[in-house]
Structure 1
Amino acid sequence: MHHRFPHLAQRMFNVPLALHPAKAEIVMAALADRLGIAHLFNAGAPVALGNFEMDEDDRAEDRAYLVQNGVAIIPVEGCLVQKLGSLRPYSGMTGYDGIRYNFLDAWNDDDVKAIVLDIDSPGGEVAGCFDLADTIFRARGRKPIWAMLNENAFSAAYAIASACDQISVPRTGGTGSIGVISMIADISKALSEGGITVNIIQFGARKADGSEVLPLSTEARARFQADVNTIGQLFVNTVARNRKLKASAVAAQQATTYLGQDGLRAGLADMVAAPDAAFRALLKSLKT
């Protein structure tokens, strides 16, 4: 796994993330501890994050989700990434590609009467998140689609949950963090103190914006902030549409996280229930 850490670092820095800040800090600390600052961006040959060796089960043509009492249960766990190359959570991550495949497979499966997203995630990459949320939202109406939190759905994970018909959250579970964060690393001082000078030759005034070996300029900061604002507004508008809330009310939450009942009061959940109780409620609704 050690050789994959630099590639993970490249996916975490200098790009917009829909990720709970506490999780982002933990990941950053872990990367720094394992690699040291100087190695965080030395990824060597380009290898896409998620190009992992898959289990034989992942290569099988049969469905990768559990069907119980006619309900497809699709796990959404850990950090969310655009492309994982696995139909199941792998190495603490779940890919939007796997969720999409499983969801559409279940949606088209005549033996499946309802779909459950079993979610416990702090969020993850922006790339691919809102396209998946739109896919789930447009699929409403044919069969029930429930998000059952076990325990949390923060940030990108909440964007996915919000696209479902119903959201249940345990008493100790969390919802929200409807916001975007981008961590622009600056290791120029550390390099200078280490006696290292990096000379950048560039074509185009903005080509080196966000480079970790240069201090972040005022112009670059303003440009990156504008990008984050655009994605943040997309997030707000998506949740507002999905949950039938006013965009101004969602924006006013300022990416707050909510515990259990507070999420219900904020309009981010429909019931406070443990996953097993929520599942029984879904089965009961299918019989009526």
Structure 2
Amino acid sequence: MSLDSDVIVDRRRLRRKLTFWRVLAAVVVIAAIAIVGMVVSPVGRGAFTTSGSIARVNIEGLIRSDQDRVEALERLENSQAAAVVIHINSPGGTTAGSEQLYDSLMRLKAKKPMVVVVEGLAASGGYMTAIAADHIVAQQSSLVGSIGVLFQFPNFTELLKTVGVQVEEVKSSPLKAAPNGFEPTSPEARAALDALVKDSYAWFKGIVKERRGMDDAELEKVADGRVFTGRQAIDLKLIDQLGDEKAAVQWLVEQKNVKKDLPVRDYKLSPRFGDLTFLRTATSVVFDAFGLSAIGRQIEQGGMAQVDRFGLDGMLALWSPAAAN
């Protein structure tokens, strides 16, 4: 009986030791994968290779407030990058998000030579972003402009009447939460919204006028909400040059004394763990190989459960073909 007890104790000790070494090996493998992932991924390359090069930053899609992006641009300010090329392909976004990005790029421009390249579209908040640079390059067929501010909200009044639903409310003052979409918009609420839109529009026009060196007459030609092709925009002073990244780099060399033949390397904005999908999957495989499949599944499923929901709140500086007129 004593012999059986000793065997059981020894087996338990062996099992604990085996579990310890499995976990330790898994941690080492995961750390190695993370290091390799950081080196080979765009995030890692952006962090390690901007030294002695021109950093390429891509601004794409809808623009909203993003503190990760602000911090990434601040890191770029303090990097060893010789200059920055900002590629923009955006219809705009929220006024607050566009202003935040504009301010970040203005701070970056104060420390690094910077030029903007319009890939296909720099409209509304996207154009607000572009004018942070002292020089804007666009292709002939690119679309730029759409200087203006928009406030949209759905009104379900007629639908509620049809289905027989009435929304009741108690509020502290007539303009609280107005308009709400559940009742006709009052003249007072519409006037309050109109004042907000006009104030933001005046601010937007003011920075365009200042940054692009326009007089009032020149500004009025471009500030009616329209977009213009690159060919039109150059005569209207919305951009400075027709061309692509090569033309932008050449401008940096000629006008900002950036060393010739420096490589242009991507600098990833908003680096997040979720960008390294392969790392999450590899981690799951490692845990499974060491008999810890339950933990591996939790890691993989936890990453997949992170869904980025885009919300546009408040006033918009946004262009779309449907709303172009």
Q: Give the TM interval when normalised to the shorter protein.
A: 0.5 to 0.7
- State the shift of 1:191 in Å: 1.5
* Mapping 1:207-222, distance limit 5 Å: 207-222=176-191
Total equivalences in the alignment:
218
Q: For 2:61, what is the secondary structure of its paired residue? A: strand
Q: For 1:79, what is the secondary structure of its paired residue? A: coil
* Mapping 1:190-269, distance limit 5 Å: 190-247=159-216, 249-253=218-222, 254-269=224-239
Q: Which runs of 4+ in 1 moved over 6 A?
A: none
| 1:154 alignment partner in structure 2 | 123
1:282 equivalent to 2:265? Answer no
For residue 130 of structure 1, the aligned residue among 99, 106, 110 is 99
Higher helix proportion, which one? 2
Contact 1:149–1:275 (Cα < 8 Å) also in 2: no
Contact 1:119–1:148 (Cα < 8 Å) also in 2: yes
Structure 1 gap ranges (5+): 1-55, 84-96
Distance 2:99 2:236 in 1: 21
| 1:163 alignment partner in structure 2 | 132
| 2:157 alignment partner in structure 1 | 188
- State the shift of 1:260 in Å: 1.1
CA 1:250–1:204: 2 relative to 1, 3 Å: same
Cα deviation per residue 1:125-171 (whole Å; 9 max; x = unaligned)?
01132243234335445421111111111001111110112111111
Could you tell me the TM-score, scaled by structure 2's length? 0.61
CA 1:216–1:115: 2 relative to 1, 3 Å: same
Q: Which AA in structure 2 matches 1:261?
A: R
* Mapping 1:30-109, distance limit 5 Å: 63=46, 67=50, 70-83=53-66, 97-109=67-79
Q: Which AA in structure 1 matches 2:238?
A: L
Compute the RMSD of aligned alpha carbons: 2.7
Q: For 1:175, what is the secondary structure of its paired residue? A: strand
- State the shift of 1:247 in Å: 4.8
| 2:281 alignment partner in structure 1 | none
- State the shift of 1:188 in Å: 1.2
Distance 2:68 2:239 in 1: 24
Q: For 1:128, what is the secondary structure of its paired residue? A: helix
Structure 2 gap ranges (5+): 1-36, 261-325
Q: For 2:122, what is the secondary structure of its paired residue? A: strand
Contact 2:137–2:247 (Cα < 8 Å) also in 1: no
Contact 1:163–1:242 (Cα < 8 Å) also in 2: yes
- Between 1:237-246 and 1:172-181, the stretch displaced more is 237-246
Could you tell me the TM-score, scaled by structure 1's length? 0.68
Q: Which has the higher contact order (CA 8 A, sep 6+)?
A: 2
